[in-house]
């Protein structure tokens, strides 16, 4: 089993690259943002509570996302590995994920961190906000708040995996295909190592 985290600030291209990577390496894509938006769409109690926080650019509580990830791991026992997108986003989430993967004897193999300037992040999110219908994309204050949350609560996740020697930084600006190639190069050099 090959488990990887695709890491980076809002708008860094995690979702875009995840689609290509999961298809190439036959991994299960787990995006907590997508799972939460599905809950909102279905108007569940969890979705209604999460929406209030997401619309302000704030994170939803750790227990909520960790619970969703735990169920997803249980219902995909046979897959080749997981690509985590937008999770873990706090130190507590990283610790919870490590515990869940320890039970499977399949720890995180690599954290690939997309590096994109703040100016470019804001530009991309605003542009997407014109068409996406995502309520957290069309407001400058909310976009900035998402980036502040990232620096305040999410960047420690990279330090957590840095201490385990798992972090690789990849330039997240350029064409989608160039960035995809750079990510594949890093994965290819590790995927045949023994991880289970």
Phi, psi of 7 (to 5 degrees): -115, 150
Catalytic member of 20, 37, 128, 153: 128
Residue 15 binds Mg ion (CB under 5 A)? yes
Segment interacting with Mg ion, rule: CB under 5 A, options 21-29, 31-39, 148-156, 162-170? 31-39
Instruction: Determine whether 195 is exposed, middle or buried from the number of CB atoms within 10 Å of its CB (0-12, 13-18, 19+).
Output: middle
Output the DSSP codes for 20-53.
HHHHHHT-EEEEHHHHHHHHHHTT-HHHHHHHHH
Binding residue for ligand AP5 (CB under 6 A) from 4, 5, 30, 54? 54
The minimum distance between CB 99 and ligand AP5, in angstroms, equals 16
The residues that touch ligand AP5, with contacts defined as CB under 6 A, are: 8, 10-16, 32-33, 36, 53-54, 57-60, 65, 86-87, 89, 93, 124, 128, 136, 146, 176, 179
Active site residues: 14, 89, 128, 134, 146
């Amino acid at each position: 089993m090959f488990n990887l985290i695709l890491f980076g600030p809002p708008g860094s291209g995690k979702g875009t690259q995840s689609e290509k990577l999961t298809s190439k390496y036959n991994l299960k894509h787990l995006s907590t943002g997508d799972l939460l938006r599905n809950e909102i769409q279905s108007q569940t109690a969890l979705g209604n509570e999460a929406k209030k926080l997401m619309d302000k650019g704030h994170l939803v509580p750790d227990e909520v996302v960790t619970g969703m990830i735990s169920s997803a791991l249980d219902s995909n026992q046979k897959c080749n590995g997981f690509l985590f997108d937008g999770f873990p986003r706090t130190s507590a989430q990283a610790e919870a994920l490590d515990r869940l993967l320890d039970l499977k004897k399949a720890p995180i193999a690599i954290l690939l961190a997309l590096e994109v300037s703040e100016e470019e992040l804001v530009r991309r999110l605003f542009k997407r906000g014109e068409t996406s219908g995502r309520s957290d994309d069309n407001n400058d204050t909310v976009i900035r708040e998402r980036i502040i949350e990232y620096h305040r609560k999410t960047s420690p996740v990279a330090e957590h995996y840095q201490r385990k020697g798992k972090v690789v930084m990849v330039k997240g600006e350029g064409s989608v295909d160039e960035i995809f190639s750079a990510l594949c190069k890093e994965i290819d050099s590790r995927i045949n190592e023994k991880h289970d």
